[in-house]
Amino acid sequence: MLGLDSSRVVKSLGLVFGDIGTSPIYTIGVILLFVLPTEKNIIGILSLIFWSLILVISIQYVWLAMSLGSKGEGGTIVLKGILTSLLKEGPFVPVISFLAIIGVCLFMGDGVITPAISILSAVEGIRLIPGFEGISETILLSIAALIAISLFSIQRKGTERVAWAFGPVMLIWFSMLAITGIISIAGTPQVLLSLNPYYALTFFLQNGISAFLILSAVILCVTGGEALYADMGHLGREPIVKGWYIVFPALMLSYLGQGAFVIQNGTMGNVLFNMVSSQLGLLYVPFLVLSVIATVIASQAMISGMFSIVYQAMTTRIIPKIKIDFTSTELHSQIYIDAVNWALLAAVLGIMITFGSSEHLAAAYGLAVAGDMMISATMLLFIFLILRDPLKSFISLVLIGVDLSFFLASLTKLPHGGYWSFVLASIP
């Protein structure tokens, strides 16, 4: 029984944690575009990342949202179903339904950006291989596009044959994030101070509005949170919760290690890849290959999640019915929707070509995620108020404030392409 439970936990690493698990590739580098890499600033940023993961992922999604479910399913549509069944009827029911539709559209809007930014950011790591420093952006873009086309082209046949490997590969990925992070932390242990919320608060007090605006980059560390809840129907709550016990420490060790590396060496392009390259030498190439595979797995999780959400939206009559193919004789959740698949590929390629690099994409990424987080927290508040749970109601109210801060800060991304999230979200 223990072996079965362990296998489901490992499986969750591949099916659920891909998006949030590949965020360390680009998050620190993007944040450092907005702030000087002083030791005090780095510790403040790391503190913001740590407490964002605690508040948004651990509390909002893993604890509160995943304590609610309908027939084992999760996601914004499920929250809407729970809330409307509690309200039964009245003026708020149409409002809740409207919020749910917006939430789903926002989730899908930023979901399109996930494969583009994750695959592009990994492919850009080729520039750190000796002899490839001068490789052009066009070639990198072509490689990323080819990977995306290949990934979407195999969806019709189903991914069941190779899906068994996703979990073990991601376990290796998270292990490497943790190990390389620990190596870097050993040389600069003062980064561990960032686990104290005092340093996040001090960073805000000392930097004022600038610190608030940096939240638009910090949000990159929590993208993928909604997917944890939305994918609950695939594996159940327990394997995902236990999987988070593996993923969270690995992510934080990587972020802390990257912070330590910047304190030691200053900022330089992609922090994760530069850190690993300095540690592993020639073994950097296998790590880069692993990172590309991890981003493909993250993209696959997004595609599967998108199919599931469209299916949920059809069964609840939010959108009209379209043709669905079941690609597995054993798993009912393994589905393929042709129209959605090719529309996603077109959108992903369009986004890649439009922005050209992961750095430019990161400037647009996160706005819709923040909006979706805020809608989920609002629904949680209403549900716990109706259930008369004062503690969870209060915590949900605090989380709305946190999510609202992320959303308002992310509005600054609108002139830099952030509007694309809304454009893509409006299509469904």
62-116: per-residue pLDDT in tens? Answer: 999 998 876 667 788 888 889 988 887 777 888 888 888 888 888 888 778 889 9
H or E stretch including 142? helix 137-153
Is the pLDDT confidence value at 272 over 80? yes
Across 247-258, average pLDDT: 98
Name the more confident of 268 and 153.
153
Is the pLDDT confidence value at 2 over 50? no
Query: Where does 88-125 have alpha helices with state H?
Result: 92-123
Is the pLDDT confidence value at 331 over 70? no
Contact 118, 298 (CB under 8 A): yes
Q: Is the Cα dihedral 411, 380, 17, 142 positive or negative?
A: negative
% of the chain residues with pLDDT over 90: 60
User: What interhelical angle do 237-265 and 271-280 show, nearest 10?
Assistant: 80
- For residue 368, which of 248, 242, 224 has the smallest C-alpha distance? 224
Fold observed for domain 2-426: Amino acid/polyamine transporter I (1.20.1740)
Average pLDDT of the chain?
A: 90
Across 38-64, average pLDDT: 97
- CA–CA dist 179, 174 (Å, integer): 9
Site of tokens 């195999």? 154
Is the pLDDT confidence value at 330 over 70? no
> Is the pTM above the cut of 0.85?
yes
